[in-house]
C-alpha cells in the first residue's frame, strides 16, 4: 500500500506469526511451571495441565498459525473507526473500534465491538504475520485517527 494513495482504510492479509506462537508457548509453559508449585492434589494439577494444553493448541491454531476456520484471514480498518474482519470460512463481521487498542512496533491488539453492542473483542496483529507497510499504516491510523 502506498501512503500517497492512502484512502483512509488499511487492508491487511492476516498470515501465521512466529512471534505470536512463541508468546503463546512461553505463556502456557510459565503457567504449567507455576501449577507444579501449587499445593493442589495431583488430580487437579493434571486437569489444569490438560486444560492448559488444550488452550495452547486452540490458541496456536486460531491466533498464531491462522489455520482454524474461525481465524481472521483479512482485516480492514477504516479511519472512521469501522472494522471489517473476513474469516477463513468466508464470514464477514463488521464492527466499530473501541478505545484502548494496544499499539507497538511489533504487535497491535485491536479492541472492537459489534454494532449492536455486547462484549469487547480483540484481534491480534503481529508484525511478522502481515506486510510491513500495512502494519505501519495500521499503527499510524490507530495512533492518529482521521
Structural domain count, the chain: 2
pTM: 0.84
Rounded distance, CA 11 to CA 139, Å? 12
| Angle at 45 (CA atoms; ends 40, 49), nearest 5 degrees | 155
Tell me: do 55 and 90 sit in the same domain: no
Tell me: do 96 and 134 sit in the same domain: yes
Rounded distance, CA 89 to CA 33, Å? 36
**Structural domain for 76, as ranges:** 3-15+69-143
pLDDT of residue 146: 65
Tell me: do 122 and 80 sit in the same domain: yes
Q: Which of 25, 16, 19 is nearest to 56 (CA)?
A: 25
- Write out residues in the chain with pLDDT < 70, as ranges: 1-7, 146
For residue 8, the domain's CATH number is 2.30.29
pLDDT of residue 144: 84
Amino acid at each position: 500500500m502506498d501512503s500517497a494513495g492512502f484512502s483512509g482504510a488499511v487492508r491487511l492479509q492476516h498470515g501465521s506469526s512466529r512471534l505470536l506462537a512463541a508468546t503463546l508457548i512461553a505463556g502456557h509453559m510459565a503457567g504449567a511451571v507455576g501449577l507444579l508449585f501449587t499445593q493442589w492434589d495431583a488430580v487437579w494439577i493434571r486437569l489444569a495441565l490438560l486444560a492448559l494444553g488444550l488452550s495452547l493448541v486452540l490458541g496456536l491454531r486460531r491466533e498464531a498459525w491462522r489455520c482454524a476456520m474461525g481465524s481472521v484471514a483479512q482485516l480492514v480498518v477504516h479511519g472512521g473507526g469501522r472494522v471489517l474482519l473476513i474469516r477463513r470460512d468466508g464470514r464477514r463481521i463488521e464492527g466499530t473500534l473501541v478505545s484502548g487498542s494496544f499499539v507497538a512496533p511489533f504487535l497491535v491488539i485491536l479492541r472492537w465491538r459489534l454494532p449492536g453492542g455486547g462484549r469487547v473483542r480483540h484481534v491480534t496483529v503481529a508484525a511478522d504475520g502481515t506486510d510491513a507497510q500495512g502494519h505501519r499504516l495500521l499503527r499510524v491510523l490507530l495512533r492518529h485517527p482521521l
